[in-house]
Amino acid sequence: MSVPSRFVCSACRGAARRATVPRRAPNGFTACAPRTAHVSKSAFSTSISRKKAKDPEYAFLDAQDPVEAETGTQDPVAATESAIHPEQSPSSITEPLGDATPTPSPAAAAMPWYLRQQSAPRAPVQAAIIPDLPINPPPILSELLEYIAVTAGLDDLTLLDLRDLDPPPALGPKLIMLLATARSERHLHVSADRFARWLRREHGLKANAAGLLGRNELKIKLRRKAKRMRMLANVGGTLPEGNIDDGIRTGWICCTLSKVAAHPEDTHMPGDDVKEFVGFREVKPGVNIVVQMFTEEKRAETDLETLWGGVLRTKKREERSADEQLRELEQDLEDLEVDDAEERAANVREQSADVKEQSGKAEQLDKTQRQPATPVQQFRRPKPSAGDAFPDAAEVASLKQMRGQMRRLHTVGLSR
């Protein structure tokens, strides 16, 4: 039976065809199924009313209705392929990819703002900053830094290598200290608790977290503090002003690990070869690791970086002065060796000169022995002239003779 062509909607045409198709009964007779609904003989249209057509809020219906009507009649396989690989015009295919700009569809442009799906703006994610490893680090140190920075979410990591301090610090010899900052008091305690549990579960290390409040200990302390406040309020007292340490806000947790395995090239312990050692030491090889967790205010107040940084600078200065002294000693030894070499060379030169001089004297002696001896003029010293003896005073008869004798004494030797 043919359906009148005055029906405009294809869906209604299909429904009317199914309603009028004859069915064959089991006894061989043909029967027509009764019509359940009266099909209107008047033509109708699927267009929306003028009011909805003019209202911009209903404009998105124009783009959705034709699509639904067309997809209802086409093959599901073809519809799926068209959805996966939409048809493109030759001009759009030949356009370069760089010039193509995304253009919003008419349905998206006409959709009201309250029906549009807006993605929440994401804050820029900053990668965790992990400090560099020191020379000859223990094997567990890299994994420890990654857990503290990435998993625990602690910031401002600082690594202090105190393994070469002499005498060693009180926390133990061969010490490596990590400083980290938590975002809040709760973050501090949660991170320290999970860090201690992670060490015990993954590495079998028992960490001593000084300042850590347990999961139920914080509730007990808060309950006791509230009770004290009620008692003070009943008697008319007031709370003390200022930053009072009530044991709840610690702001600082010192997590000390047990001794971990050291690097194969870092097994030397300070003072292991000294019998009368002064300080803290342990002969068993290994490295001590301490993680200092702070809140931002407590870290600025404690300022451990300045304390241990000054100790490290002093150690480097002493090492530098020791190196300079060793360099000066080596220079002095070199100078002494040079002086000794010069002195030995001078001695060799003197010995060679003496040998030459002795050989020259021997040659001259040989020459003198070969030549005849020449007469030597002898010099004789003249003897003094004989004079008169000094007369005795008793023999002088008169003063006149005495004077003559004196004059004669002065003229001795002038008569010749």
Q: What is the CATH number of the domain that holds 190?
A: 3.30.460.10
Q: Answer yes or no: is 348 within a domain.
A: no
Q: Answer yes or no: is 395 within a domain.
A: no
270-316 tens-digit pLDDT: 666 667 766 666 667 789 999 999 999 999 999 898 889 888 888 88
In the chain, how many H helices and how many E strands?
12, 7
pLDDT at 52: 47
Residue 287 phi, psi dihedral angles, 5° rounding: -125, 135
Nearest in space to 293 (alpha carbons), one of 368, 182, 213 = 182
pLDDT at 44: 47
CA distance 46 to 303: 79
How many domains are there within the chain? 1
- 3-class secondary structure, 175: strand
Q: Answer yes or no: is 181 within a domain.
A: yes
pLDDT band per the 50, 70, 90 thresholds, residue 90: very low
Q: CA-CA-CA-CA torsion for 315, 318, 322, 327, nearest 10 degrees?
A: 100
Question: For 245-256, what is the mean pLDDT?
Answer: 81
Query: E strands, 283-361, where?
Result: 288-295
- 3-class secondary structure, 148: helix
Q: Answer yes or no: is 220 within a domain.
A: yes
The overall average pLDDT reported for the chain is: 72
Q: Answer yes or no: is 307 within a domain.
A: no
- Give the list of residues 6+ apart from residue 296 with CB closer than 8 angstroms, or none: 181
> What domain range includes position 266?
141-236+247-270+279-302
pLDDT at 144: 93
pLDDT of residue 11 exceeding 80, the answer is no
CA distance 266 to 21: 95
CA distance 136 to 190: 31
Q: Answer yes or no: is 147 within a domain.
A: yes
Show the tokens assigned to 195.
């860090």
CA distance 201 to 71: 59
CA distance 207 to 228: 33
**Got the DSSP string for 7-29?**
---HHHHHHHHHHH-EEE-TTS-
Residue scoring higher pLDDT (71 or 373): 373
Q: Answer yes or no: is 380 within a domain.
A: no
CA distance 206 to 194: 13
Show the tokens assigned to 20.
């009028």
- Give the list of residues 6+ apart from residue 224 with CB closer than 8 angstroms, or none: none
CA distance 137 to 159: 12
Residue type, 386: A
170-198 tens-digit pLDDT: 888 889 999 999 998 889 999 999 999 99
CA distance 148 to 183: 13
